[in-house]
A = this chain, B = another copy of it.
Amino acid sequence: MLKVRRIPIDTYPENTAFVLRHGNGYSPEQFQALRKIRISCEGGEILATLAIVDDDSIIGADEIGLGEQAFKRFGLAEGTSVTIAQARPPASLEYVRRKIDGDVLRESEVAAVIRDIAHHRYSPMEIGAYLVACAGFMSTPETLALTKAMIDVGNRLHWDSPLVVDKHCIGGIPGNRTSMIVVPIVAAHGLLCPKTSSRAITSPSGTADTMEVLANVDLSEAQMKAIVAKEHAVLAWGGRVDLSPADDVLISVERPLRLDKHEQMVASILSKKVAAGSTHLVIDIPVGPTAKVRSHSDAVRLRKLFEYVARHLGLVTDIVFTDGSQPVGRGIGPVLEVRDVMAVLHNEPDAPEDLRDHAVMLAGHMLDFDPALEGGKGYARALEMLASGKALEAMQRLIDAQGRQTQHFEPGVHQAEVKASRSGRVVAIDCERIARIARLAGAPMDKGAGLDLLHKVGADVQAGDALYRVYANAEAGLGFALDLAQENSAYEIS
């Protein structure tokens, strides 16, 4: 028997267990080839990756250390007695092997895999194996089964309404911060729009990161319910309420591998939306040469997959193809995006037009879900909510209801301009590269880091004109970003 000890080491997303190499009668080296051990007590068991310790000041011979993930997930008090053994691989790994061999899995088999993944019984390597096998081939029914399984293992929010609207963009376009405009418009009109958003994983900012510049986004389910009851809407971070936890685990592996197959994207997005209680969903698919979807035919294939899975889940969808040829708005990064969003909500004359048009169009599609509106009037109604200032008022009420941010954020103090190397017309801006530059500057952890695009596609520039300004609060971040920008500015000028 070993006693549990908390080890203040965070190996997110993996569970790690620390065991002394000698003196505990366990010969932990015998477990090392397969790395994973099973830690058991009367109350349950957990699987963890083994780290062997050679210093008894870190862990005693009669102890087992649990890293922060494992300690929290196992939930045992320090000092609890446990036993360890070689982990038996989860039985569902047999299905993964069959998937690797090209099989189509049944609904119950997909469910077993997802249950084990959500309960952290798979290592990142095993999750990677499943995802790569799925990337090779996945049938439409398997995609549906995956989505259902992901919904089933998580929490589900229920709103007492037959019409709960939401929107989602598949991502990939920096600055595309429409939710913070769309949600206030829809709320001002009076539809229920409880929006949960993610933080950025590999992009320069997620809606939750940007909204946090203005308000608290870390809301409990009860807080969200209270706010929605009063304001019809909320703009919260989804991570707190445990929607589709398997998705979070899958994403932690998909992102480093840059896996972005349609099937996995559809399952990820729709499982989160159904779990969040949405009934009507507008999906924004930007199409462009550096966007996630690069051709019209790909966009159509993706749309059909969204429609198939959503229909079987009873979710009404309206899928919109948008211009994904360049970033949206001017600012990239939390503080700079907030500036653009607020300029639109304030109806400032120099607010970025593309951001405003894009947001109003999406809000219009959402309002068209309202049976009380005459067909096709959604767009006009959305414009009205924005122009009248009602959307701005709704946003201010939301900020107050969620809790106004007490910290004040400014654009990063270290700044530099990236200049055009030749004269001509801007014909393209590479979304992927812009995102990487902003990310290297420090966004989204550094709220003030990012880029300000001074010219967009179609502009005529002279050699030496500033194309964009980079902001960072850490000098190193500015340096990293400029290094990448020097290689290639992301602007194509012809």
By a beta-carbon cutoff of 8 Å, the part of chain A in contact with chain B is: 8-12, 16, 18, 21, 25, 27, 29-30, 32-36, 49, 51-55, 58, 67-68, 85-86, 89, 93, 96-97, 100-102, 123-129, 131-133, 135-136, 201-202, 252-253, 255-259, 440, 442, 445-446, 474, 480
Contact = CB atoms under 8 A, between A and B. Distances in A.
26 contacts: A9-B51, A9-B52, A10-B21, A10-B32, A10-B53, A11-B51, A12-B32, A12-B52, A16-B51, A29-B445, A33-B202, A33-B252, A97-B257, A97-B258, A123-B256, A124-B124, A124-B125, A125-B125, A125-B127, A125-B128, A126-B257, A128-B129, A128-B132, A132-B132, A132-B136, A136-B136
A35 B132 contact: no
Contact of A30 (B12, B97, B253, B445): B445
A39 to B, nearest CB: 15
Q: Nearest 8 A-B pairs (CB), nearest first?
A: A8-B54, A8-B55, A125-B128, A132-B132, A10-B52, A124-B125, A30-B445, A128-B128
A78 to B, nearest CB: 14
Contacts of A125: 124-125, 127-128, 253, 256-257
Judged by DSSP, the binding face of A is mixed
A472 to B, nearest CB: 12
Given A85-B480, A125-B125, A136-B136, 5 more contacts: A9-B54, A10-B53, A12-B32, A34-B256, A126-B128
A35 B258 contact: no
Contacts of A8: 53-55, 58
Chain copies in the assembly? 2
B100 A135 contact: yes
Contacts of A202: 33-34
Contacts of A35: 12, 256
Contact of A100 (B29, B132, B201): B132
Contacts of A11: 49, 51-52
Nearest to A16: B51
A51 B442 contact: no
Contacts of A480: 85
A16 B257 CA distance: 19
A289 to B, nearest CB: 18
A18 to B, nearest CB: 7
A256 B126 contact: yes
A28 B405 CA distance: 24
A253 B129 CA distance: 10
Contacts of A136: 100, 102, 132-133, 136
Contacts of A124: 123-125
